């Protein structure tokens, strides 16, 4: 798209109109968008066309994007897929999105997700579920399911997402697109509605590693408005808009495979074996190793994330913003009914378990113990990175499950995150790469790197995508003609 813009083969207005047309045709069945604003998008596109005409363009100028509805954008309704924020118009813009807008991208709209990013299927949204473009009766994964389905169906070339426990990588795997969760601190969390602040990280879903890197380069960097955003400078990442991802220069790398990750697999294991063979063919050394504590990651995560969510979500009390119940009789009644009506069942479950884990008498047994497990898991990874430069794992235990299949079993839903959550607890960067199909549905392979080593992570991902064409497979959209 960018090359065509520079060569004047098409304008940003034309790209935007084409995207709007495709969305009109496909999104009735998919439900990726919570909010779409053609007027605002076309105004962005006209501005981008002016910048292009004056040769003031970045590689992203004029490219239509869409953003997970967890990012505040000034003047845009920002719902987090909750009834609580169904009418909330953000008064300011998240830094990650502001940087993309300053680079000249077009904002088409806001994408569906699990309510407050809690879930693995995009079924808990107040605005209805999103369908997987590979099979409409399957979930797209979650919580960034709207972003994954949007990219898989070719509605946008890339979309933002957030990953607290796997919410970029697992939907990317389910929809056959590339998903990048950066190192914690790489991208500012300012203006991203908080779920679990010690884990939340913004990232991107795209059609390729090259595209994901381009978007990351734009979003990343220190932000004084987020005290946990990192000062780490990365000359390689800063050069990506000019030089691309580039190739590995520092000799053969070692890729570790931890046996504990592979215990979780229920489908698609032979695809990960194939990735291993491809890496070996490309000259990587593969090494079996162990991360002994990661089986405890899931319970530790659901204590820590719940605890942080219960405090973060206490701000929704019906007083300053968000849903307010009708005719409150007292302050307690205002709180109780506003929260009771505004939050869905899964969000309430997190608030209840999180509050319990933090309460006097239980704090040591749950929250403190979970923090100790978190430390052990981080140490496991630190040991592993003494032996290996990168780790290879499945992204999810299986392929996209059917809508409704796990909705009555929260723990089975949480087990979806078995392979992604350890990475968040340790704050590491990771990629999910499409690596072929199992029973006609996409499988994702996960590459994990050490802190701030996005360079080797993305260069390795790009090397795999140069050697294979798994990432170019797109779903058959025959259902669109039938509809």
Q: Which residues are tagged catalytic?
A: 68, 143, 167
Q: Which of residues 305-364 bind ligand GLN (CB under 6 A)?
A: 305
CA atoms of 148 and 172, how far apart (whole Å): 5
Q: Which of residues 395-454 bind ligand GLN (CB under 6 A)?
A: 417
Shortest distance in whole angstroms from residue 323 CB to ligand GLN = 21
Residues forming beta bridges with residue 441, ordered by sequence position: 438
Shortest distance in whole angstroms from residue 201 CB to ligand GLN = 9
316: exposed, middle or buried (Cβ count in 10 Å: 0-12, 13-18, 19+): buried
Q: Which of 62, 166, 171, 342 binds ligand GLN (CB under 6 A)?
A: 166
Q: Give the chain's end-to-end CA distance (angstroms, integer).
A: 28
Q: Which is nearer to ligand GLN, 211 or 308 (CB)?
A: 308
Cα radius of gyration (the chain): 21
Q: Give the range of 165-173, 271-279, 329-337, 438-446 binding ligand GLN by CB under 6 A.
A: 165-173
Q: Which is nearer to ligand GLN, 162 or 450 (CB)?
A: 162
CA atoms of 83 and 340, how far apart (whole Å): 11
Here's the x/- map for ligand GLN, 204-243, by CB under 6 A: it reads as: ----------------------------------------
Q: Which is nearer to ligand GLN, 143 or 188 (CB)?
A: 143
Asked if residues 400 and 135 have their Cβ atoms less than 8 Å apart, the reply is: yes
CA atoms of 146 and 139, how far apart (whole Å): 10
- Which positions ≥6 away from 352 have C-beta within 8 Å? 310
Q: Which of 59, 104, 109, 119 binds ligand GLN (CB under 6 A)?
A: 119
For residue 130, give the nearest of 110, 149, 151 by alpha carbon.
149
CA atoms of 453 and 389, how far apart (whole Å): 9
Asked if residues 169 and 137 have their Cβ atoms less than 8 Å apart, the reply is: no
Asked if residues 199 and 304 have their Cβ atoms less than 8 Å apart, the reply is: yes
Is 69 among the residues that bind ligand GLN (CB under 6 A)?
A: no
Q: Give the range of 111-119, 316-324, 365-373, 385-393 binding ligand GLN by CB under 6 A.
A: 111-119
Q: Which is nearer to ligand GLN, 117 or 135 (CB)?
A: 117
Q: Which is nearer to ligand GLN, 5 or 180 (CB)?
A: 180
Q: Which residues bind ligand GLN (CB under 6 A)?
A: 117-120, 143, 162-167, 195, 305, 417
């Amino acid at each position: 798209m960018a090359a065509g813009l520079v060569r004047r083969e098409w304008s940003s207005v034309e790209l935007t109109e084409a995207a709007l047309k495709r969305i009109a045709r496909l999104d009735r069945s998919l439900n990726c968008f919570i909010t779409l604003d053609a007027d605002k998008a076309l105004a962005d596109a006209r501005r981008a066309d002016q910048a292009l005409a004056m040769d003031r363009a970045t590689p992203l100028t004029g490219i239509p994007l869409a953003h997970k509805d967890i990012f505040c954008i000034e003047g845009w309704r920002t719902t987090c897929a909750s009834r609580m924020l169904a009418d909330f118009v953000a008064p300011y813009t998240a830094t990650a999105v502001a940087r993309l807008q300053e680079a000249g991208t077009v904002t088409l709209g806001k994408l569906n997700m699990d309510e407050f990013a809690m879930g693995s299927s995009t079924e808990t949204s107040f605005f209805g579920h999103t369908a997987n473009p590979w099979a409409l009766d399957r979930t797209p994964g979650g919580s960034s399911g709207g972003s994954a389905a949007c990219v898989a169906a070719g509605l946008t070339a890339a979309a933002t997402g957030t990953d607290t426990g796997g919410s970029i990588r697992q939907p990317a795997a389910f929809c056959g697109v590339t998903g990048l969760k950066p190192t914690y601190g790489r991208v500012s969390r300012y203006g991203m509605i908080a779920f679990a602040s010690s884990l939340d990280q913004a990232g991107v879903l795209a059609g390729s590693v090259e595209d994901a890197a381009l978007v990351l380069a734009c979003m990343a960097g220190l932000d004084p408005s987020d005290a946990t955003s990192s000062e780490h400078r990365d000359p390689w990442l800063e050069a990506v808009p000019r030089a691309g991802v580039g190739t590995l220069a520092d000799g053969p790398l070692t890729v570790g495979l931890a046996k504990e990750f592979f215990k979780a697999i229920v489908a698609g294991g032979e695809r990960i074996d194939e990735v291993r063979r491809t890496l070996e063919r490309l000259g990587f050394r593969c090494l079996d190793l162990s991360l002994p504590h990661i089986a405890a990651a899931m319970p530790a995560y659901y204590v820590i994330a719940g605890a942080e969510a219960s405090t973060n979500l206490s701000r929704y009390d019906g007083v300053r913003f968000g849903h307010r119940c009708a005719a409150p009789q007292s302050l307690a009644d205002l709180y109780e009914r506003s929260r009771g009506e505004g939050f869905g069942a899964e969000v309430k479950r997190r608030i209840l378990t999180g509050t319990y884990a933090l309460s006097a008498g239980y704090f040591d047994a749950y929250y403190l113990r979970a923090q100790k497990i978190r430390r052990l898991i981080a140490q496991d990874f630190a040991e592993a990175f003494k032996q290996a430069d990168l780790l290879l794992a499945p992204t999810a235990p299986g392929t996209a499950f059917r809508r409704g299949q796990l909705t009555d079993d929260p723990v089975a839903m949480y087990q979806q995150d078995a392979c992604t959550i350890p990475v968040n607890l340790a704050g590491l960067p990771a990629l999910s790469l499409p690596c072929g199909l199992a029973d006609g549905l996409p499988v994702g392979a996960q590459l994990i790197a050490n802190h701030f080593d996005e360079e080797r992570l993305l260069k390795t991902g790009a090397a795999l995508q140069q050697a294979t064409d798994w990432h170019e497979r797109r779903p058959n959209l025959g259902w669109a003609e039938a509809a």
